[in-house]
Amino acid sequence: MNLGDRDGMRRVLPLLAVFCFISLAACVGTSNTDPTGIHPASQLDYLDRQRVELQSCLARYEGTQIERIGNSVCITIGCDSLFESNSDRMRLASRTAIDTVADVLKKYPETNVRVDVHTDCIRSEEENLALSELQAWVIKKVLVDNGVTSSRVAARGWGESKPVLSNANEEGRRANRRVTITLMQKKS
């Protein structure tokens, strides 16, 4: 068979196309793999997919931290950015962060949510506990109002009982005024 003539080309082209297709398919299957041959996207489990999506969506909110801790994903947001000072009134500009969390949670119905709110020690212990309970309830309400099923969301205020830094200075008190939203996959 002479590759220069038309009939020969007509017979070879389909074979060449099949060869190219198989070669490309083999390249696609191996180009983004680790040494075990597994594609990286398939390595992300249910919670990691949520973590990655939340990191992408919440990156614009200063001071927001998202991390995988064991079998959960923890989102930490400073209360100062979410709520008006010593209030359960959510700032309109930052409410979109909680709206964004709700949007992601709706895509993952097998995720339960725990909202924990913490305060500093400036006011009385009773006032701080009451304030944190109200703020936790407000966050749960925003999540539910945005379509997250109420039974998936638990909310609790801790007041000043679980500081992460000393309350002796403003930097420590600011760190202690925080919201932690923990995502956990439902148990089968």
Q: Please state, in angstroms and rounded to a whole number, the distance separating the CA atoms of residues 162 and 120.
A: 9
**pLDDT of amino acid 36:** 37
Q: Do residues 27 and 79 share a domain? A: no
Q: Do residues 33 and 54 share a domain? A: no
With a cut of 80, say whether residue 14 has pLDDT above it: no
Q: Do residues 61 and 100 share a domain? A: yes
Q: Please state, in angstroms and rounded to a whole number, the distance separating the CA atoms of residues 11 and 9.
A: 5
- 102-148 per-position pLDDT tens digit: 999 999 999 999 999 999 999 999 999 999 999 999 999 999 999 99
- 40-88 per-position pLDDT tens digit: 444 579 999 999 999 999 988 888 999 999 999 999 998 888 899 889 9
Confidence of residue 25 (pLDDT cuts 50, 70, 90): very low
Q: Do residues 24 and 51 share a domain? A: no
Q: Do residues 24 and 71 share a domain? A: no
87 in Cβ contact with 134 (< 8 Å)? no
**pLDDT of amino acid 39:** 39
Task: Provide the number of structural domains found in the chain.
Answer: 2
Measured CA angle at 53 (ends 51, 56), to 5 deg: 105
Q: Do residues 135 and 82 share a domain? A: yes
Q: Do residues 94 and 25 share a domain? A: no
**pLDDT of amino acid 85:** 87
Q: Please state, in angstroms and rounded to a whole number, the distance separating the CA atoms of residues 9 and 38.
A: 38
SS3 157: strand
With a cut of 90, say whether residue 23 has pLDDT above it: no
SS3 1: coil
With a cut of 70, say whether residue 98 has pLDDT above it: yes
Give the pair of three-digit tokens for residue 80.
């100062």
**pLDDT of amino acid 8:** 60
Q: Do residues 25 and 87 share a domain? A: no
Task: Tell me which residue range forms the domain holding 29.
Answer: 1-39
Give the least confident one: 1-5, 18-22, 59-63: 18-22
Q: Do residues 35 and 54 share a domain? A: no
Q: Do residues 140 and 69 share a domain? A: yes
Q: Tell me how crowded residue 48 is: count the other CB atoms within 10 A of its CB.
A: 12
Q: Do residues 136 and 173 share a domain? A: yes
